Amino acid sequence: MTAKRQRVRTAQRVRSASARTDRLVPASGLVDDLVRSVSDERGRPIHVAEENLGPKEPSGLWVAGDGVDLIVVPDRIGSSQRTAIICHEVAHILLGHVPLGVGSDLDGLVELVAPHVDVSVAKQILGRFSYADDLEAEAEAFGTILVTKLAERSRRLRIKRDSVSDRLR
């Protein structure tokens, strides 16, 4: 597939996913509420774990086990970066991405960041180094849309609660 056709396909998939998930973005604009919303929609718990990820590890990853998803983010990051990483991983989930394969290096990473998840149970692992570039582009584009929607909802809520804007209405 040519690069141009791939970009068009990626844009179409992202637009379609974005339209389908508008209702999942919470009015609060909080990323943890988005995670709960997606979890409720899918009927499958999603837990966010903050771990000490080393410099050679991905900036975030998604581990899907039997009946539960785990999103792992670095423990020493700001709230904006945390939101961006979580939205990126949620984008992978909502886009239905599946990794190309789980290698032994990733098995060790699962043991490091999710010791309570048996490696044999961890069926899907999405880290920045374990899936194709087109999937990464889709997740990055859709994750950015999710971040933007969260920010817009948060801004609307702040305006709604602002007593000055209440008096101007």
Amino acid at 113: V
Cβ-defined contacts of 127-132 (< 8 Å, 24+): 127/57, 127/58, 127/60, 127/61, 128/58, 128/59, 128/60, 128/61, 129/58, 130/58, 130/99, 130/100, 130/101, 130/102, 130/103, 130/106, 131/97, 131/99, 131/100, 132/100
Q: How confident is the model at residue 83 (pLDDT cuts 50, 70, 90)?
A: very high
Give the model's pLDDT for residue 99.
Answer: 46
Domain ranges within the chain, ordered by starting residue: 12-152
Q: How confident is the model at residue 101 (pLDDT cuts 50, 70, 90)?
A: very low
- Cα–Cα distance measured from residue 67 to residue 4, given in angstroms and rounded to the nearest whole number: 37
Q: pTM, whole model, 2 decimals? A: 0.74
Measured in whole angstroms, the distance separating CA 155 from the mean position of its chain's CA atoms is: 21
Is the pLDDT confidence value at 86 over 90? yes
Give the model's pLDDT for residue 58.
Answer: 74
**What's domain 12-152's architecture?**
Orthogonal Bundle (1.10)
- Name the burial class of residue 108, with classes exposed (0-12), middle (13-18) and buried (19+) by CB atoms within 10 angstroms of its CB: exposed
Give the model's pLDDT for residue 30.
Answer: 96
Q: How confident is the model at residue 61 (pLDDT cuts 50, 70, 90)?
A: confident
pLDDT digits (tens, 9 = 90+) for 26-52: 999 999 999 999 999 999 999 999 988
Is the pLDDT confidence value at 16 over 80? yes
Q: How confident is the model at residue 164 (pLDDT cuts 50, 70, 90)?
A: low
Is the pLDDT confidence value at 106 over 70? no
Is the pLDDT confidence value at 20 over 60? yes
